[in-house]
Amino acid sequence: MEPITDPKNLVRRGYDQISYAYRGDSLPRDRGYFRWLEELTPLLQPGDAVLDLGCGCGVPAAEELAPRFAVTGVDISPVQIERARGLVPQATFICADMAGVAFPPQSFAAIVSFYALIHLPVAEHGPLLARCFQWLQPGGLLMAIVGHSAWTGSEDDWRGAPMYWSHADEGTYLRWLGEIGFDVQWTRFIPEGDGGHTLVLAQRAR
């Protein structure tokens, strides 16, 4: 594979191509997402505003949250966003780079981001987490999959398209979150193949 000069374009084109290969229109309820969201939703009030960064086709997180909360999903892939609008009509979807999107301060009671931050060049992770802090209301919650160990790289054929990933290690995320002002509630190792990721729940102090 040639050196990657425009990783975001590669990721956008990749998910446009593999949207259906990555995720069908529904997902079995034994997948971890549902248990993670069951830990988050009791901490929210009905109708709360929730942001899903890198929402994909809206399944499962936006779809699961939209009946009870005011969900906004952001994704860089036009195909993913078009599917999300069809699959989860109650939610609002924005096709944008999560590192460039803007919201007024204190817009959301919670932000979720599953397996998406890890596609963003790692130099942009800390600044994005700082923006998430600003977008959260006091007491607001961030639940995100972040890197467990540091790695930046790509594959020529990941589920049918070239793909790029970039992330720091768990300790670095915990340091960044602390420096930004988040209180980390817990972290959990989420295995995948030979490796895995870290799921973190962090709170903006009240």
Residues of the shown chain interacting with ligand SAM in the complex, contacts defined by CB under 6 A: 8, 11, 15, 23, 54-56, 74-77, 80, 97-99, 114-116, 119-120
The span from the CA of 183 to the CA of 200, in Å, is 11
Query: In Å, what is the CA distance from 107 to each residue of 22, 48, 200?
Result: 30, 10, 21
- Residue (11 or 200) nearer to ligand SAM, CB: 11
CB of 205 to ligand SAM, least distance (A): 26
Contacts of residue 67, defined as CB under 8 A and 6 or more positions apart, other chains included, come to 90
Contacts of residue 201, defined as CB under 8 A and 6 or more positions apart, other chains included, come to 39, 40, 141, 142, 143, 184, 185, 186, 187
- Residue (139 or 166) nearer to ligand SAM, CB: 166
CB of 206 to ligand SAM, least distance (A): 28
CB of 27 to ligand SAM, least distance (A): 8
Give me the phi and psi of 46, to 5 degrees please.
Answer: -55, 135
- Residue (11 or 88) nearer to ligand SAM, CB: 11
CB of 123 to ligand SAM, least distance (A): 13
- Residue (138 or 156) nearer to ligand SAM, CB: 156
CB of 93 to ligand SAM, least distance (A): 11
Contacts of residue 196, defined as CB under 8 A and 6 or more positions apart, other chains included, come to 148, 189, 190
- Residue (138 or 198) nearer to ligand SAM, CB: 198
